[in-house]
Amino acid sequence: MATPILVTGAAGFIGHATTHRLLARGETVIGLDNVNDYYDPALKEARLATLAGNDRFHLYRMDISDAAGVAKLVRDNGITRIVHLAAQAGVRYSIENPFAYQQSNLAGHLAVLEACRHAAGFGHLVYASSSSVYGDKPMGGKGFSEDEPATDPVSLYAATKRSCELMSQSYAKLYGFPQTGLRFFTVYGPWGRPDMAYFGFTRKILAGEPIEVFGEGKMARDFTYIDDIVDGIVGALDHPPMASVHRILNIGDSQPVGLMDMIETLEKALGRTAEKVMRPMQPGDVTATYADISRLNAITGYKPRVMLAEGLGRFVEWYRGYYKT
């Protein structure tokens, strides 16, 4: 019988979707989350409620930086596979609340690494990194490649994510357990995060309020639908590298979309036109993101299937149902 899989951040957007996918294929999942108030905890509780009826899901409410608690959880449940998605998210929030990133991202990642190091027969750690580690670089060619240097972060959030990658590299070398870091590119979809632009735009457009378009609308993002992201996470989990190997993989859509094009697509899905207020770029933002996903494709067969118009349509349908708008 397979050992349980630990999913940290199980009440989060990506953690909730990953947990559902793993349960659907018969896995037992241990979820860990502190259900904090970075955004509406009621949304996190609603996500957890969709998992509550499954007797193969068990939730532990604790902070990811509780190293002793995480180690005990891993040890007591015989965990040999971890999908570590718990983190303090948000680039702009890191400007005002830097120490939240020290605790959740740095201390939290170290707590997970230590738990893996001491776990008997540990098999594979898959963890969330971010496209933000690439910094603000020009968009061209075939996209951002994992081999490019990631030495110029423009936000503390990005710096903590790159730090986690380096910590993992050292632990793979020192202690020999396989690790995969996934650099996520702008994930969106039903049950998403209210701090993301498409989510906030939807709320304001439906309320008849103007939307603020930062970067004068000239930014582009590699929007990646949640189901495609989960395909990549589970595919990576199922194809671990060799012992002592720490690999970095991009996980995105590989089709960057301009911010104004995204807004136009969202307007069509909502059947409304937005009143737009143009603003300059905010501190910590980058101009564009564009994933080269050839490495993940070669390992897992990963291929994004949901294009932006379909994905935003699904999001709007969920949003209207959840918020009864």
**Residues with catalytic roles:** 157
d(CA 268, CA 289) in angstroms, rounded, equals: 24
**In contact, 134 and 186? CB cutoff 8 Å:** no
Residues 6 or more apart whose CB falls under 8 angstroms from that of 47 comprise 11, 12, 13, 16, 191
d(CA 131, CA 129) in angstroms, rounded, equals: 7
Task: Give one DSSP letter per residue of 128-181, joined into a string.
Answer: EEEGGGG-S----TT-B-TTS-----SSHHHHHHHHHHHHHHHHHHHH---EEE
d(CA 154, CA 160) in angstroms, rounded, equals: 11
d(CA 119, CA 61) in angstroms, rounded, equals: 21
Sole residue written with tokens 């939240």: 100
For residue 313, the surrounding DSSP H or E stretch is helix 308-323
Starting at the edge strand that comes first in sequence, how are the strands of the sheet with 179-184 ordered? 57-61, 29-33, 5-8, 81-84, 124-130, 179-184, 246-251
**In contact, 147 and 110? CB cutoff 8 Å:** no
**In contact, 14 and 229? CB cutoff 8 Å:** yes
